[in-house]
Structure 1
C-alpha cells in the first residue's frame, strides 16, 4: 500500500503570521491535526501540529499574540505519494512525529498521519508478523 492510498488530500495551509488561536480554529474546523505553513518570503514549507499548539499553551504563550511562525517545524521530512506506508511509518517513528507533508515534485498534494496509516492498514487487512491479518 502506498502513501497516496492513505493520505488526506485536504491540506490546510496557513501563513506564518496566523496566531495560534487562528491556526487552532482552522485545524478544528477542518478536523485536521496539522497545518502546512507556507512562508511567502522564503518559499519554504513548515508544519504546525496540534502538539505544537499544545506545547505553546502549556508554556504560557498567549494564543492571540503568538504566531505560527514561532512554533512551526521547518526541518520537515517530506513523503512522496509513491512511498510505501511502511516507509512513511518508519520515517514518522524515527523522527518521533505523527504527520508527513506529501509532495509530488514541488507541489503539496496531501498530508499523511499515523492515524491515516493505521486506518488504511486495518481497512485492507494488512498481514501482521505472525501471518494473521489486521482487521476492524
Structure 2
C-alpha cells in the first residue's frame, strides 16, 4: 500500500501574514524549525508560500530583511496537495514544478506542509524496515 501525504506531512503549519518582514518570517521559521511558511492574505483570501530559499534569494540580492515584506517574496501560484495524495504524486508534482514544499489542503484549509525531506524520511524508514537488522545502517 503506498504511503499517503497525510502520513508524511508536518501538521505544524506556520501561518504568517503578508505584512510580516522577511526577518520576522525567518525568525518564526527558525523557531519552529520549518523551511516554509504559509502566507495567508485575509484581504484576498489568498494562500501562498514563503520558503527559506525565498529569504536566501532576497538576502543574496542585497535586500534589507527589515524592509522586505513576505508578500513581496511569496509564491502565490502554488500547487496544493491533499492528504490522500500518495508520496509518489507529491514527489512528481515537486519534480515537475521545481519546488521542495507542498501546502496540504483539506477543503480550503491548510492542514499541513509536506517537504522533500518528509518524503525522503518516509521512503528511507520504509526501506530500512525491509532490510534485516544486521544490514541496517
Is TM > 0.5 for Structure 1 vs Structure 2? yes
Q: Give the match's secondary structure for 2:127.
A: coil
Partner SS, residue 45 of structure 1? strand
Which structure 1 residue ranges, 4+ long, deviate > 2 Å from structure 2? none
Q: Structure 2-normalised TM-score?
A: 0.91
The answer for unaligned runs of 5 or more in structure 1 is 127-131
Name the structure 2 match of 1:13: 15
Aligned to 1:54: 56
Q: Which runs of 5+ in 2 are unaligned?
A: none
Are positions 1:91 and 2:90 aligned together? no
Deviation of 1:125 after TM superposition, in Å, equals 1.6
Residue 107 of structure 1 deviates from its aligned partner by: 1.2
SS in 2 for 1:63: coil
Distance 1:17 1:61 in 2: 16
Equivalent residue, structure 2, for 1:4: 6
For 2:99 and 2:57, how far apart are their aligned partners in 1?
14
TM value normalised by structure 1: 0.92
The correspondence of residues 55-134 of structure 1 with structure 2, limited to 5 A, is 55-125=57-127
